[in-house]
Structure 1
């Protein structure tokens, strides 16, 4: 038996809780409403709601991990890592342990589900397929007509890439072919897009393409501009053509980081990255994730540039007086900002003398008591928008108090603004039980500092401030979950562990999965 990648139950739970709609938007797929569900336009037999999907033509369905395997050809480890924004599992050597995983559930008569188990082995890598270039058409009439008339791409910009051979028209179907080159000028990636102007959307990456390369341009300066798709890049250059050849540009053909990192590796001059992804929830989350990856790889100068409309081509269409698709802010980010303003008023009413362990435990216990009444949306609102709000206020006052002790006069309003800026929607994943576990862990770590550290010492004061910030962030995430993501199907109790049984009666304990 070969080696395999092991993921914890908590990691699997978080991965399976990712919304199918978020996955498809990230991959630039189109969806449409179908009753109380959604339908995938490219696979019309597939409907989904939340993190659950069902393929009616084959009578199979499951959750997010199986979705990535079924439709995007990923292995189990690849799917989990993708859904967790690059988070990796643990490599278990041959013969040490065997894991199981679920396959899509085959529905029988009356759509009764039967789960099947299979091993979680890491598959042997497949032989890479040869990249076959689409044959070139003698002319580019259709491509020029589509990009100039429908997309309003600047003629000089388009002609530059056409002469360079990185944009051409395919002979067979007259599609637009975008070529991604390596540092030697060899074509390593082909992205094909339809050139019809009738509203039908068609795009794919040619079989054998390498994800580490994408359509782009290598300039002479130190900046790399990153886009989701080739037309976004061309639109940006059409909008801002001045001295464009002084910079470098790369497209991701989605939101994966591989082409961006390869472009940086191939060009040591690049030290500043400008993320120019779509102005929508998927693009906002991807920017946060890519920025983290860049920092981990030693690139500290990361900027974000947003289009006024949904993407750069919509901005370009607007310049020509056409109707445009508006930008869409991330609902969780907007809720976080709004909630921060409410918390400012609440915190102002809390005297700093209540910034202590006793009041943290008191309001945490009040959350627990509210949640014992039930797990419907109303009960969750009572818990997290009542004592949860007061707990956050006390934690902010604790941070303010420790700041004063450290000689840092930071107001409660400034602390809350900082908390709001620290909120990252791409990391805010998981269902009800996951969030409760995360809050419980943050609560325990905060109490541990109170109970075991010398709060007269500077380093321990700083540690307490950090732990209070972590618990306050969990309170804010809990409110956002209730306001934006809460659904009854997410409140199902998880199996209770021995550790949770023992902790059920501790002070301030909130192991809600043990409650009936």
Structure 2
């Protein structure tokens, strides 16, 4: 198939849907009334067996077993994008021989830009991102709205300022948002918000929106680097080595003056597991601290949205009292 090899497709199919949901959608996965069965908070007619991984979305009349089936049919991710995402975010499933695959890596190019960023602004502000942080990122060419689907594009650049990576997030509010990476993206170059002045500290996040959210919650202060890894790999099996993510390795190579790392992963089992592994890997050379968001099972974007909603509710209450 154009864009992905047979080896990549076979590798992507090895991950089961229940394994993917437990690792990357744990906050959305809840036990069902049936024994051994789970469902999604976002789609209560979606049922999946905790052992066999066989799932069925009753309201849509579709089903499957693999994570690839789930991404394509439930989250409506394109087949090629889903294969690449599983291969990139779950490196343990990638075949050892990479040479043929690397030769076929598609050329990277950014999606065309929309005339303005209206939908992206509405989407990110609705998620609790402040206009100050949004403008800071847009002005530095890190965020924009694409055509024809009006996705939010988060850009990762190399040391020369050339775009080498792009994460796409849907801006429509219905159902789970579309998530993918632009074909040819190089995960070594993660989305990174630079500080206003030189800094020796980097805060590390799983997703770009988390980096923007934490900056919002820090009074919009551009006081350090804020790096997104574009996802994590945190297997539940014991004695499985978790390597330092390539985006962080490349960032530290480019910034030898950085001596402090703040790990701001999601406050769920995979996030905590990955943060502890990175701390073990780098603790001997850097000052490493865990700075997980104070929201169980959530991330900084969830926290920012929660705080925004609380403030809006408070404002409405005050307005009603003043009438």
Task: Classify the TM-score, shorter chain.
Answer: 0.5 to 0.7
Quote how far apart the aligned CAs of 1:314 are: 2.6
Q: Secondary structure at the match of 2:215?
A: helix
CA contact (8 A) 1:277 1:311 kept: yes
1:513 matched to which residue of 2? none
2:204 matched to which residue of 1? 226
Q: Deviations over 1:39-82 (max 9, x none)?
A: 6889x9994414x43377999868x9xx9xx9756999x96836
- Of residues 167, 170, 179 in structure 1, which corresponds to 2:155? 179
Say whether 1:81 aligns with 2:69: no
Unaligned stretches of 5+ residues in structure 1 = 1-15, 84-119, 324-516
Q: Which whole-Å CA distance do the structure 1 matches of 2:142 and 2:117 have between them?
A: 13
Give the number of equivalent residue pairs: 260
CA contact (8 A) 1:229 1:253 kept: yes
Structure number with the bigger relative contact order (C-alpha 8 A, sep ≥ 6) is 2
2:260 matched to which residue of 1? 272
Quote how far apart the aligned CAs of 1:157 are: 1.0
- Of residues 283, 290, 298 in structure 2, which corresponds to 1:304? 290
Q: Which whole-Å CA distance do the structure 2 matches of 1:292 and 1:54 have between them?
A: 36
Q: Deviations over 1:340-393 (max 9, x none)?
A: xxxxxxxxxxxxxxxxxxxxxxxxxxxxxxxxxxxxxxxxxxxxxxxxxxxxxx
Quote how far apart the aligned CAs of 1:255 are: 1.4
Say whether 1:125 aligns with 2:76: no
RMSD (CA atoms): 3.7
CA contact (8 A) 1:235 1:316 kept: yes
Q: Rate the CA distance shift 1:252–1:320 in 2: closer, same or farther, 3 A.
A: same
1:49 matched to which residue of 2? 50
CA contact (8 A) 1:22 1:282 kept: no
Q: Which whole-Å CA distance do the structure 2 matches of 1:202 and 1:225 have between them?
A: 26
Q: Deviations over 1:223-246 (max 9, x none)?
A: 11001111111111111036x333
Q: Deviations over 1:417-472 (max 9, x none)?
A: xxxxxxxxxxxxxxxxxxxxxxxxxxxxxxxxxxxxxxxxxxxxxxxxxxxxxxxx
Between structure 1 and structure 2, the one with the greater Rg is 1
TM-score by length of 2: 0.68
Structure having the larger proportion of residues in helix: 1
Mapping 1:431-470, distance limit 5 Å? none
TM-score by length of 1: 0.44
2:276 matched to which residue of 1? 288
Q: Which whole-Å CA distance do the structure 1 matches of 2:300 and 2:39 have between them?
A: 26
CA contact (8 A) 1:279 1:311 kept: yes
